Amino acid sequence: MIERPHQHDEGRYLAPSTAHRALTGGPIAVAPTRGEAFVAAVRAGGGDVQPLDENTKGLVWLSETRSDELSDILQQHPGIEWLQLPWAGVDAFSSILNGLAGTNEQDRPVVTSAKGAYSEPVAEHALALLLATLRELPQKARAARWKDERTGLSLFGNRVLLVGAGGVARAFMDLLAPFHCEVTVVRRDPSQHMEGAAKTVGQDGWRELLPEIDAVVLAAAHTDSTRAMWAAPEFDALPQHAVFVNIARGPLVDTPALVSALKSGNIAGAGLDVTDPEPLPDGHPLFDIPECVITSHAADTPAMTRPLLAARVTHNTKAFLSGSPLRGVVSVEEGY
Amino acid sequence: MIERPHQHDEGRYLAPSTAHRALTGGPIAVAPTRGEAFVAAVRAGGGDVQPLDENTKGLVWLSETRSDELSDILQQHPGIEWLQLPWAGVDAFSSILNGLAGTNEQDRPVVTSAKGAYSEPVAEHALALLLATLRELPQKARAARWKDERTGLSLFGNRVLLVGAGGVARAFMDLLAPFHCEVTVVRRDPSQHMEGAAKTVGQDGWRELLPEIDAVVLAAAHTDSTRAMWAAPEFDALPQHAVFVNIARGPLVDTPALVSALKSGNIAGAGLDVTDPEPLPDGHPLFDIPECVITSHAADTPAMTRPLLAARVTHNTKAFLSGSPLRGVVSVEEGY
pLDDT digits (tens, 9 = 90+) for B235-283: 999 999 999 999 999 999 999 999 999 999 999 999 999 999 999 999 9
**CATH number of the domain to which A150 belongs:** 3.40.50.720
Q: Do B128 and A137 touch (CB under 8 A)?
A: yes
**Phi and psi angles of residue A112, each rounded to the nearest 5 degrees, phi first:** -120, 150
Model confidence band, residue B224 (pLDDT cutoffs 50, 70, 90): confident
More confident residue, B224 or A200: A200
Cross-strand pairs, B110: B82
Please, which residues 127-186 of chain B have a Cβ atom closer than 8 Å to chain A? 127-129, 131-132, 134-148, 150-159, 174-175, 177-181
Regarding whether A146 and A57 lie in a shared domain, the answer is no
Contact A239, A231 (CB under 8 A): no
pLDDT computed for residue B133 by the predictor: 98
pLDDT computed for residue B320 by the predictor: 96
Q: Cα distance from A227 to chain B (closest Cα, Å)?
A: 22
Regarding whether A245 and A280 lie in a shared domain, the answer is yes
Chain B residues near residue A288 by CB distance under 8 angstroms:
144
Q: Is residue A89 part of a domain?
A: yes
Please state, rounded to an integer, the average pLDDT across all residues of chain A.
93
Residue among B178, B69, B239, B14 nearest A126 (CA)? B178
Q: Which residue of A has its CA nearest to B126?
A: A131
More confident residue, A321 or A105: A321
Helical (H) or strand (E) element with A58: strand A58-61
Average pLDDT rounded to a whole number, residues B311-331: 93
Regarding whether A285 and A313 lie in a shared domain, the answer is no
Helical (H) or strand (E) element with B43: helix B36-44
Regarding whether B37 and B129 lie in a shared domain, the answer is no
pLDDT computed for residue A15 by the predictor: 66
Asked if pLDDT for residue A2 goes beyond 50, the answer is: no
Regarding whether B92 and B181 lie in a shared domain, the answer is no
Regarding whether A30 and A125 lie in a shared domain, the answer is no
Model confidence band, residue B1 (pLDDT cutoffs 50, 70, 90): very low
Regarding whether A142 and A239 lie in a shared domain, the answer is yes
Regarding whether A126 and A106 lie in a shared domain, the answer is no
Chain A residues near residue B146 by CB distance under 8 angstroms:
278-282, 294, 296
- Predicted TM-score (pTM) of the model is 0.89
Chain B residues near residue A140 by CB distance under 8 angstroms:
293-296
pLDDT computed for residue A92 by the predictor: 83
pLDDT computed for residue A126 by the predictor: 98
- Residue B311 lies in domain: 10-117+302-322
Q: Is residue B23 part of a domain?
A: yes
Q: Do B144 and A179 touch (CB under 8 A)?
A: no
pLDDT digits (tens, 9 = 90+) for A30-77: 999 988 999 999 999 999 999 999 999 999 999 988 889 999 999 999
Please, which residues 274-333 of chain B have a Cβ atom closer than 8 Å to chain A? 278-282, 287-288, 293-298, 300-304
Regarding whether B178 and B41 lie in a shared domain, the answer is no
* Range with lowest mean pLDDT among A211-215, A277-281, B16-20, B195-199: B16-20
**Which residue, A277, A294, A311, sits at the end of a domain?**
A294
pLDDT digits (tens, 9 = 90+) for A94-109: 889 999 998 988 889 9
Total domains, chain B: 2
Chain B residues near residue A128 by CB distance under 8 angstroms:
128, 131-132, 134-135, 137
More confident residue, B135 or B224: B135
More confident residue, A133 or B66: A133
pLDDT computed for residue B222 by the predictor: 86
Regarding whether A71 and A137 lie in a shared domain, the answer is no
Q: Do B144 and A287 touch (CB under 8 A)?
A: yes
pLDDT digits (tens, 9 = 90+) for A8-34: 777 777 766 766 677 889 999 999 998
Contact B305, B41 (CB under 8 A): no
Residue among A306, A325, A164 nearest A247 (CA)? A164
Regarding whether A309 and A229 lie in a shared domain, the answer is no
- Assign B86 to helix, strand or coil: coil
Q: Is residue B330 part of a domain?
A: no
pLDDT computed for residue A290 by the predictor: 97
pLDDT digits (tens, 9 = 90+) for B104-118: 888 899 999 998 899
Q: Do B279 and A146 touch (CB under 8 A)?
A: yes
Tell me the ipTM for this assembly: 0.89
Model confidence band, residue A1 (pLDDT cutoffs 50, 70, 90): very low
Chain A residues near residue B279 by CB distance under 8 angstroms:
146, 148
Q: Between the CA of residue B161 and those of A80, B172, B185, B251, what are the distances in Å?
A: 48, 12, 6, 18
Distance CA B156, CA B268 (A): 17
Q: Is residue A163 part of a domain?
A: yes
Residue among A49, A127, A123 nearest A84 (CA)? A49
Q: Is residue B179 part of a domain?
A: yes
Give me the percent of chain A exceeding a pLDDT of 70: 96
Q: Can you spell out the DSSP letters for B212-235?
A: G-SEEEE-----TTTTT-BSHHHH
Model confidence band, residue B2 (pLDDT cutoffs 50, 70, 90): very low
Model confidence band, residue A271 (pLDDT cutoffs 50, 70, 90): very high
Question: Which residue among A153, A174, A301 sits closest to B151, beta carbon to beta carbon?
Answer: A301
pLDDT digits (tens, 9 = 90+) for B196-206: 999 999 988 99
pLDDT computed for residue B89 by the predictor: 74
Q: Is residue A307 part of a domain?
A: yes
Asked if pLDDT for residue A4 goes beyond 80, the answer is: no
pLDDT computed for residue B20 by the predictor: 67
Q: Is residue B220 part of a domain?
A: yes
Regarding whether B87 and B173 lie in a shared domain, the answer is no
Q: Is residue B17 part of a domain?
A: yes
